Amino acid sequence: MPKPKITSLDVAAKAGVSQSAVSRVFSGASASKSTVKKVREAADQLGYRPNVLARSLITGQSKIIGLVVAYLDNQFYPDALERLSNALQEKGYHILIFMASGQSTDVERVVGELLDYQVDGIITASVGMSDELTKRCEAAGIPVVLFNRGQDDPRLSQVTSDNRAGARKIADFLIAAGHERIAHISGWSGSSTGRERQAGFIDALAAHEMEPVAIADGKFKRDVAAEAALDMVMTAKPDAIFVGNDHMAFAVIDALRHTAGLTVPNDISIIGYDDVPMAAWPSYDLTTMRQPSGQMVEATVDTLLAQIADRSVAPQKTAIDGPLIVRGSSRKPKDM
């Protein structure tokens, strides 16, 4: 015969307190230290766990945040997801992670499932939201924050690095280092991130009466970026390449060294964007724009929780500037 399910009444009887006291302890409401100690000891001895789903029906909050991410190949995202999870747990929330391919139909399926789970809010990491999905979330009263992706929709909050400003810093740095034939391998042109970094880079070069000798869409994929770099050095012959993120930049450095037989930075300078931990490895020693992931996560959590607490809070669009981290993959200006 299966053992009978332990209830809060059993815990209350063993602890010598009321059932309401047990509810207060497990809901985080006010309770004396002695009551908390007695209740938790009794619960541990009996093997009792509170029914979170049942409590959510009473409070109207599941204390779950849905996170939709397109891919984890880019080393920036595992670190950011860990930071997001830790920050939300400190606020009493948990993350329910769903993977989506980035295709609109797949994103719709995933977000639809999250709505079924009655999540309190949704964070999308490098995933766009269709108009129909945005309407569904708005009708359900579930706020959405786009992380590291922008979208021209006043109903959605977004938190990004200042992509245009970061790309301008990279262009200014390369020019100050004496580079005259500068190329760019962008992120996916279908993403706001890829477009903004490319636009900022081109604008900064234009301010110096220069333009890229070559531009290619790396699609945020290692193999595509590597092939584009090899084609560039055979045709446009750049003396520097700004690569739209570190994930692609590592592949570019490997291809130039091991296939084209070039040295970095003596033959060609390479600069990335993100400053993932691997960028500091001696094998790459990558000069790169740092995305301030800690600040981005903090702003994302604060924005989302503010909208959960008060549905009248207007969506926010936040762009956070970061520093250029100079390492050995690029030639340096003489005054550095």
What is the DSSP secondary-structure string of 26-39? HHT----HHHHHHH
Tokens standing for 111? Answer: 């977000």
Q: Quick one: pLDDT at residue 60?
A: 54
The SS3 call for residue 282 is coil
Q: Quick one: pLDDT at residue 224?
A: 97
The SS3 call for residue 226 is helix
Q: Which residues contact 323 (CB under 8 A, 6 or more apart)?
A: 289, 290
**Whether the model pTM is above 0.75:** yes
CA dihedral 134, 107, 146, 217 (to 10 degrees): -120
Domain with residues 62-161+293-320, CATH architecture? 3-Layer(aba) Sandwich (3.40)
Q: How far apart are the first and last CA of the chain?
A: 77
Q: Are 66 and 122 in contact, with CB atoms under 8 Å apart? A: yes
Q: Which amino acid is at 318?
A: T
When the pLDDT of each residue in the chain is averaged and rounded to a whole number, the result is: 90
Do 163-291 and 62-161+293-320 have the same topology in CATH? yes
The SS3 call for residue 144 is strand
Q: How far apart are CA 7 and CA 19, in angstroms?
A: 10
Task: Write phi, then psi, for 86 (nearest 5 degrees).
Answer: -65, -45
Sketch the domain layout of the chain as residue ranges: 8-50, 62-161+293-320, 163-291
Q: How far apart are CA 120 and CA 61, in angstroms?
A: 6
Q: Quick one: pLDDT at residue 103?
A: 62
Q: Quick one: pLDDT at residue 101?
A: 67
Q: Are 218 and 248 in contact, with CB atoms under 8 Å apart? A: yes
Buried b (16+ CB within 10 A) or exposed e, 131-151: eebbebbeeeebbbbbbbbbb
The SS3 call for residue 317 is strand
Q: How far apart are CA 297 and CA 53, in angstroms?
A: 27
Domain with residues 163-291, CATH architecture? 3-Layer(aba) Sandwich (3.40)
Exposure of 296 in the CB half-sphere (CA atoms within 13 A): 29
Q: How far apart are CA 154 and CA 147, in angstroms?
A: 15
Task: Write phi, then psi, for 198 (nearest 5 degrees).
Answer: -65, -45
Q: Which residues contact 89 (CB under 8 A, 6 or more apart)?
A: none
Residue ranges in the chain whose pLDDT is less than 70: 1-3, 27-29, 51-61, 101-105
78-107 confidence digits (pLDDT tens): 899 899 999 998 888 888 888 876 566 677
Q: Quick one: pLDDT at residue 3?
A: 61
In the sheet with 64-69, reading across from the earlier edge strand, the strands are: 94-99, 64-69, 121-125, 144-147, 157-161, 317-320
Q: Which amino acid is at 19?
A: Q
Chain center to CA of 120: 19
Q: Are 19 and 6 in contact, with CB atoms under 8 Å apart? A: no
Tokens standing for 40? Answer: 């938790």
Q: How far apart are CA 128 and CA 285, in angstroms?
A: 32
